Amino acid sequence: MIMTRGHKIFNIFNLILLGVLGLSMVLPLIHIIAQSLSNNTAINAGDVSFWPVGFTLGSYKLILEDPTIWIGFRNSVIITVFGTFINLFMTTTLAYPLSRPEYLFRKSILMLVLFTLIFSAPLIPNYLLIKQLGLLNTLWALMLPMAISAFNLFVMRSFFLNLPSELLDSARMDGCGEFRILWNIVLPLSKPAMATMGIMYAVSHWNRYAEAVFYIDHRQWIPLQVRLREIVFTDQMGQSDVSSELMQLLSPEGIKMAVIVVATIPILCVYPFLQKHFIQGMMVGSVKS
């Protein structure tokens, strides 16, 4: 294909625009990391931009010495792993039958799901429901009520609709039941969609904050985000002697920046392993035959 002058100008403009947008997203994170690794004097003087000044790991040492950080980290990992598994299982098992024209009442169920997408229940009825189910002050309160996202359900259903019906009919003729078709045929073909939904669900669970504030009072069950917010907004750290000594040598802003990094890095580490499927999954439902 011969590139015209208009195409070249468009590509240059597009490259510059995307580069500026990329820098606007990356530079704040670099600045946060630089501050988290800088000493008290440099931060207070405003000398830190995109490179650490007076390199120190004191802020991270202070955070990691706090046992409540590890408790919150454990709870967030449990919520993210098991919550994402529940999400994918429930979303897949509901989206598949809703994508098959031979199943009865699928249109009625789709209308009910669409209703929940447009109208959501207020906080007080949700709280009363969680309380009556006995889920208060348990990690289940942060996983089961969010088992299915209506938006993700429609995206997954759209992907299943694009699967060739001849393939599924052939499996039925060979004696496969619906569960075997779903497990051995549909799911292996749905890795891009599953990876995309998995990342979306995992990020949502990892950042779970409001529901934890409403439904959990016991300190041993709070997720990491709740504990980190306490540090960022109230400077509540552990009361150990080592922490007290470090607090006098470190800047509160540096500690807060380190807290943000601690909360962000774990979920970022997951993306490279799913990048290939995630990029393919972003096209789910966008092409119709």
CATH numbers and ranges of domains, the chain:
29-281 (1.10.3720.10)
Note the pLDDT of residue 86: 93
Work out the pLDDT band at 283, boundaries 50, 70, 90: low
Across 190-200, average pLDDT: 82
Check whether 179 has a pLDDT greater than 70.
Answer: yes
Q: Residue 15 is encoded by which pair of tokens?
A: 């490259």
Average pLDDT over residues 263-269: 80
Q: What is the pLDDT of residue 289?
A: 43
> Where does the pLDDT of residue 287 fall: very low under 50, low under 70, confident under 90, or very high at 90 and above?
very low
Q: How far apart are the first and last CA of the chain?
A: 26
- What is the phi/psi pair of residue 76, to 5°? -65, -40
What's the pLDDT score for residue 284? 52
| In the predicted structure, residue 186 carries a pLDDT above the cut 70 | yes
Per-residue CA distances from 219 to 163, 223, 228 (Å): 47, 9, 13
Buried/exposed 153-192: b ≥16 CB within 10 Å, e otherwise:
bbbbbbbbbebeeeebeebeeeebeeeebbeebbeeebeb
Q: pLDDT value at position 234?
A: 66
Rounded to whole angstroms, the Cα distance separating 103 from 146 reads 25
| pLDDT for residue 237 | 56
Per-residue CA distances from 40 to 31, 193, 274 (Å): 15, 46, 38
- Range from 86-90, 208-212, 230-234 carrying the lowest mean pLDDT: 230-234
Query: Given this model, what pLDDT does residue 246 score?
Result: 55
Question: Whole-prediction pTM value?
Answer: 0.77
